[in-house]
Amino acid sequence: MAEKPTPGGETHQSTNRRKDSLTTNQGIVVSDNQNSLKAGARGPTLLEDFVLREKITHFDHERIPERVVHARGYGARGFFEPIQSHADLTSAEFLQDPTVQTPVFVRFSTVAGSAGSADTVRDVRGFAIKFYTSAGNYDLVGNNIPVFFIQDAIKFPDLVHAVKPAPDRAFPQAQSAHDSFWDFASLTPESTHMLFWAMSDRGIPRSFRMMDGFGVHTFRMINAKGKVSLVKFHLRPKLGALSLVWEEAVCLAGADPDFHRRDLWNSLARGDFPEWELSVQAFTEEEAEQFDFDVLDPTKIVPEEVIPLRPLGRLVLNENVDNFFAETEQIAFCPANLVPGIDLSDDPLLQGRLFSYLDTQLTRLGGPNFHQLPVNRARCPVANFQRDGHMQMNTPVGAVAHEPNSLDAGAPRENPRSGFRTSPQPVQGEKVRVRSETFADHYSQARMFYRSLLPMEQQHLIAAFAFELGKCHEPALRKRMLGRLALVEQEVAEQVAQKLGMPDGIEQLEPAIAARDLAPSPAVSQYANAPLGLAGKLIGLLVTDGIDAELYESLLEKAAAEEARVSVVALTIGDVMTSREEILTPEHFLSGAPSALFDVIVVAPSAENASLLLEYPPAAQWVRDAFAHLKVIGIVESAKELLELAGAPAEGAGIVPIRDATDWDALLNVAGNSHRVWERELARS
């Protein structure tokens, strides 16, 4: 089956209207539901596109007051601090002085689920930043994945409708493992690259603090001399971009649906402030023309091996909110909130977002004055002639509310010298609904992404595709999606088909453009260059009465030196006594705290009470799960029988015997050298 040509360039002579024709809400038959109206194939989207505006307006207003997408979010305050002046790149004020900190508010979110869904579902994560700059509010509204499912904003309502719960039954919730999503995905070749990212470990991050951020689109930066650079935004966490394993994510969704938000809140509350490096890839229009892809296509990345990252500064979160609703729920982001020195590109997905975000806020937050809410209010002077409206919270004074005027000499006036200026760029072309031919390669970068992953990352991706497609009841769409995978990498399609029990079920598809063999990009792998150490991680310590006090205190000291924490787990939530008869209050009780909550576990019962763990089935399961989830395990001599009961080896493969306090260095060294004990998994496969 050959891919259909991108709709939009065909002329339909027949005037016969079929009764099943797609129409607007006014009954006007839609000729092209795939492409917005643009000035030329690569030009900006036109405001007159009533099909796009009606479709997105209706979509924006589907939920009141919950966000249609990104409903489950969590935010915090902080600051941004440039490392040096970037005047050669941009005139944006907040990127000039390394001694000036710009206040920020950051909101992390899942995309598909409702506000009541779980944190650890497989999903894209939003990463949105509001910079309260001296020149006005600037919003960088991105994700934890650098590409997206679609190339044109007119398809966004279809994408989200496909992934949301079915309208007739209101499930499944907060997941893409169902027929409607994979029906859309298998019929939308442009989504292929994003699907590979979403099915990778990126879809189940370990925490917000250990998650990358990306601006997704290509933007422009302009310096004071008018020089224009194209840029892609990146945020890299100081702790490294780390993920859960699938079984662990499933466990956490039940044991602690608030796992990510609890982690961020607790981190800030104890003064452990997460930090990211904000960088850009900067390049010229001439360089962009030499790329073998179109930088206006949001389903493509610029490999870091082609254009390296240029660090701009550090983003630090250091304050929890005072009120979740007033701040995290009411914050309103919009990619059209720009400051002088930063401008937009003609990316057709970005162009639609400029309209959609503002339109959404009008419904969610009650009207045109939502910018007056404290969390949305600019930290610099605001002066204009906008008046009245629902929820007006200011009291404008004066008799004049128009401009130009000669009646009030003190009224604000436009400022050609320091005001925002759109960077000049030529626009020429017919008004058309087409997809640029430069957007047509849907498989080459997906192949590059897969081949750039480490072996265990590849296996996780294959398992994720198999799980998701295995939840689809319609065989035809499974076959079609397997055919789409084969266009990227035959071995992926074959291994997924084998897991599904469909070895002969790969549909033969003909791509518009066949995948090319691009140079690998090791930068896309989370673990190829993962930072060493235990900073930001949590060690679960399982104890009983009589826990060796010296052993416990030395672990606390060693962990603190590594910027890690120790959390005590006991059989019950009641106090336990150490070997010095000192009271130790556990943070968790065993059956209520699965080992999935921790990055490393240590089993350290006293010799006289170790039998209590042997007699309590959840204890063996606690260790068994940690071993299956590839965690480093420290074990004292008295717990060796428990290890055997859990089916784990006594030593090796990330099992570290703890005989006395001197062995903590060995444990922390093993745990700090790798986020997981990957050899266990590779041995199983």
Q: Worst-scoring range by mean pLDDT, 125-129, 500-504, 677-681? A: 677-681
In angstroms, rounded to a whole number, what is the distance separating the alpha carbons of residues 600 and 620? 16
SS (H, E, C) 197-260: HHHCHHHCECCHHHCCEECCCCEEEECCCCCEEEEEEEEEECCCCCECCHHHHHHHHHHCCCHH
266 is catalytic: no
- Short-list 635, 682, 130, CA closest to 374: 130
pLDDT of residue 674: 87
CATH code where residue 336 lies: 2.40.180.10
Provide the H-helix boundaries in 107-214: 156-163, 179-186, 192-199
Q: Which two tokens stand for residue 168?
A: 């007739």
Q: Looking at 372, 388, 412, which one is the last position of a domain?
A: 372
In angstroms, rounded to a whole number, what is the distance separating the alpha carbons of residues 142 and 109? 11
Domain of 588? 538-684
Work out the mean pLDDT of the chain and round it to a whole number.
94
- Model pLDDT for residues 494-508, shown as the tens digit of each residue: 999 999 999 999 999
pLDDT of residue 21: 85
| Higher local confidence (pLDDT), 165 or 6 | 165
437 domain-assigned? no
What confidence tier does 104 reach under pLDDT thresholds 50, 70, 90? very high
What confidence tier does 673 reach under pLDDT thresholds 50, 70, 90? very high
Contacts of 639 (CB under 8 A, 6+ apart): 603, 604, 605, 610, 613
Q: Which pTM was predicted?
A: 0.93
In angstroms, rounded to a whole number, what is the distance separating the alpha carbons of residues 291 and 593? 50
Same domain, 117 and 154: yes
Q: Which amino acid would we find at residue 546?
A: G
Contacts of 160 (CB under 8 A, 6+ apart): 59, 68, 69, 112
17 pLDDT exceeds 80?
Answer: no
pLDDT of residue 227: 97
- Model pLDDT for residues 574-603, shown as the tens digit of each residue: 999 999 999 999 999 999 999 999 999 999
- Model pLDDT for residues 384-435, shown as the tens digit of each residue: 998 899 889 999 888 999 989 999 988 898 888 889 989 898 998 999 999 9
What's the chain's Rg over C-alpha atoms? 27
Residue recorded with tokens 């579902």: 121
Torsion region of 295: left, alpha or beta (phi above 0 gives left; psi -120 to 50 gives alpha):
alpha
Same domain, 344 and 249: yes
- Short-list 354, 364, 362, CA closest to 334: 354
Distance, CA of 631 to chain centre:
24
211 domain-assigned? yes
Same domain, 130 and 43: yes
Same domain, 356 and 492: no
Same domain, 200 and 287: yes
In angstroms, rounded to a whole number, what is the distance separating the alpha carbons of residues 198 and 125? 10
Same domain, 463 and 570: no
- Model pLDDT for residues 530-552, shown as the tens digit of each residue: 889 999 999 999 999 999 999 99
Same domain, 510 and 363: no
Given the residues 35, 137, 143, 144, the one annotated as active site: 143
Same domain, 214 and 301: yes
Q: Looking at 524, 553, 572, which one is the last position of a domain?
A: 524
CB 576 within 8 A of CB 609: no
Q: Worst-scoring range by mean pLDDT, 7-16, 510-519, 538-547, 608-617? A: 7-16
129 domain-assigned? yes
pLDDT of residue 16: 58
22 domain-assigned? no
143 is catalytic: yes
In angstroms, rounded to a whole number, what is the distance separating the alpha carbons of residues 38 and 43? 6
Given the residues 70, 178, 234, 460, the one annotated as active site: 70
Same domain, 340 and 458: no
20 domain-assigned? no
pLDDT of residue 2: 56
434 domain-assigned? no
Highest mean pLDDT among 47-61, 544-558, 647-661: 544-558
In angstroms, rounded to a whole number, what is the distance separating the alpha carbons of residues 32 and 11? 11
CB 352 within 8 A of CB 35: no
127 pLDDT exceeds 80?
Answer: yes
Q: Looking at 501, 524, 547, which one is the last position of a domain?
A: 524
Average pLDDT over residues 611-640: 97
CB 236 within 8 A of CB 292: no
Q: What's the number of domains the chain is made of?
A: 3
Same domain, 134 and 237: yes
Same domain, 571 and 497: no
The percent of residues in the chain predicted with pLDDT above 90, rounded, is 85
In angstroms, rounded to a whole number, what is the distance separating the alpha carbons of residues 564 and 558? 9
CATH code where residue 500 lies: 1.20.1370.20
656 domain-assigned? yes
674 domain-assigned? yes
Q: Which two tokens stand for residue 149?
A: 């499912």
- Model pLDDT for residues 276-313, shown as the tens digit of each residue: 999 999 999 999 999 999 999 999 999 999 999 999 99
5 pLDDT exceeds 50?
Answer: no
CB 393 within 8 A of CB 355: no
Q: Which two tokens stand for residue 365?
A: 């937050």
Same domain, 172 and 50: yes
